[in-house]
Amino acid sequence: MIKILFALLLTTIVTLGNKSDEFLSKATNLDDSIRTSFQSLTSEAQAIRASSQTISLVNLYSSQKHYNRALKLLSAIQPSLPIPFYDFKLAIHEATLHYCVSDPNHAIKILHEARDRTLKYLGKLSKEELSDHFDVLNAVYGMTSKLVSWYKQNGADEGADALATWMVEQSQYRNQNQLPSVVFVSELRVKGPFPELKEFYGHFDELDYIVTSMEKWDYFRENDNWNWGYDTDCNVDIQGSANVSAIPYFKTIKSSDSIQLHELGSVLNRVGSENGNETKFLQVTEIALKKLSPGGKVRQHFGRTNTELAVIYQQSSCVSVAAGGQMSKFDAKFILFDDSFGTEIENICADEEAVFLRVDFQHPHFRGAI
């Protein structure tokens, strides 16, 4: 019952969007509820549930730029959790909040220490025990990719390169001598394989289905009525904007917060039929609708793993993507890329918002591996 009430209250807060007074009133009630739940933890299952609720509220706070409220909540609950549990569940959120309030050195320190402690914790486990801690290892990949991004953004290339080398050595990162790929598909109805999409050989029907479904989904309708949230990673700068005093933003709506996007996900994650046998299409892992400020640029950031690819669909010609040093064509309607190699996304229009749909999906090389 508590879980259902939490979900209902969370949904209410999401729909309030930028109605600040109402948002803060509802969020405060949820905040109090979470703090109370941490005072009476009696099992790991309760701790996991309470932590998930905390992450949801922290992300909501961040999406409306209430960073200090989120930090106070994390500070209040931290003593109730074992250090390893807090490190791989919540430390990345605490560090990111410090990065958002312009304290990058402290953010990097928090995340580095949490990552080191988590690796030490994993190092004590047997192979059998490790197989039950995949979520913890996944968290380490997430911490590492974020640290690489922050080091790069702050000019500390040596630190970034050292961590990137560690990532390359891991089993789920840049396998099979994979190269960076930013490709522009000019005519999606023509069957492949295209030379630049040779890694999709045998999978082009599936890619075609994804982009065709994206194109059919009219996400531009009434987009001003969506409850947009700000970039929770604080990665955006203004580049060449006509309004030099403008505040850069990168707003997002995820499928978990939108019935329409959730329905699109159901369409994309369909099961195909081939020669009478059911065949699972490329698995979609995340869908998001994004809005980037005029002249806004999402600074170079690195994905957690190269087992996924991303495709962007835009109706304007404002979005430009650079991944691994390769730049997309400015007028590309669809842009396919791998963000594990370092990605920058820029709105090259100085006086027009860039609204685009992004879908992340399973890399065909790793169909059997994930």
> Of 139 and 198, which is predicted with more confidence?
139
CA atoms in the 13 A half-sphere facing the CB of 279: 13
Flag the least confident range among 100-104, 169-173, 258-262, 311-315: 169-173
Whether omega before 193 lies within 30 degrees of 0, making that bond cis, reads: yes
Instruction: For the chain, give percent helix, strand, coil, nearest 5.
Output: 50, 20, 30
> Tokens 């920058």 belong to which residue?
344
User: What pTM did the predictor assign?
Assistant: 0.78
> Tokens 């109370």 belong to which residue?
36
- 308 and 361 Cβ atoms separated by less than 8 Å: yes
Phi, psi of 131, rounded to the nearest 5 degrees? -65, -20
The span from the CA of 280 to the CA of 125, in Å, is: 34
> Of 303 and 329, which is predicted with more confidence?
303
> pLDDT (tens digit, 9 = 90+) per residue, 207-253?
777 878 888 877 655 555 566 778 888 888 765 444 444 567 778 88
Beta-sheet pairing, 334-337 with 271-274: unpaired
Phi, psi of 252, rounded to the nearest 5 degrees? -140, 145
Bridge-partner residues for 309, per DSSP? 361
> pLDDT (tens digit, 9 = 90+) per residue, 335-363?
888 777 788 888 888 888 888 889 888 77
SS3 (DSSP) at 316: coil
Q: How many CB atoms sit inside 10 A of residue 75's CB?
A: 10
